Amino acid sequence: MRPLTPVRIPGDGMVVLMGASGSGKSTFAARHFGPTDVLSSDALRGLVAGDESDQSATEDAFELLRLALRMRLARGRLTVVDATNVQRWARRLLLDAARREGRPAIAVVLDLPLALCLERNELRLVHRLPAAAIRRQHRWLVESLPMLAAEGFARVELLRSPDEVERAAVALI
């Protein structure tokens, strides 16, 4: 049997999940973290607009997300940000919040093949996006990878195949 993939997470830090839609971020978050530890942009769109897919609620959802993130980090609560986070400016806002609160930031990257994200997207009943949007997110993710350490993440945990995701073992440090 192949070994587990250790994913080391500081217990008072911010975990930024990164991945195209369909890469499995929400599934990963639900499997490894408690429900109140996860701030999901989709869930917050649902909270403000009654519809998790309502893109007109995106700005409000992220404003709420950053507010809750700051409050949690101020208390030293582990906080997982479940959003694509493939754009640098979006990560910048999160990293600024963690730095202000003096908490470490970790990136957990679901760097899965584009074809798999597209395939899962087609099978979805909710949150299905146009294929072009997934292609764009995947390209932004790939372009982001070399920059992450310099952006201020204390650690970057890369999960590069469904097998690595399956074998991920989160260890609080």
24 binds ligand GDP (CB under 6 A): yes
Comparing CA positions, the residue from 65, 96, 61 lying closest to residue 79 is 65
121 binds Mg ion (CB under 5 A): no
User: What b/e string do you get for 48-70 counting C-beta neighbours within 10 Å, with b at 16 or more?
Assistant: bbeebeeeebeeebbebbbeebb
Binding residue (CB under 5 A) for Mg ion from 5, 23, 26, 144 = 26
Residues 6+ apart with CB under 8 A from 115: none
162 binds ligand GDP (CB under 6 A): yes
Strand partners, 18: 109
141 binds ligand GDP (CB under 6 A): no
- Provide the total of helices (H) and of strands (E) in the chain, helices listed first: 8, 7
160 binds ligand GDP (CB under 6 A): no
27 binds ligand GDP (CB under 6 A): yes
What is the three-class DSSP state of 69?
helix
User: Using CB atoms, what's the residue nearest to ligand GDP?
Assistant: 24
19 binds ligand GDP (CB under 6 A): yes
For ligand GDP, the binding residues (CB under 6 A) are: 19, 21-27, 120, 124, 162, 165-166
* Residues found near Mg ion in the complex (CB under 5 A): 25-26
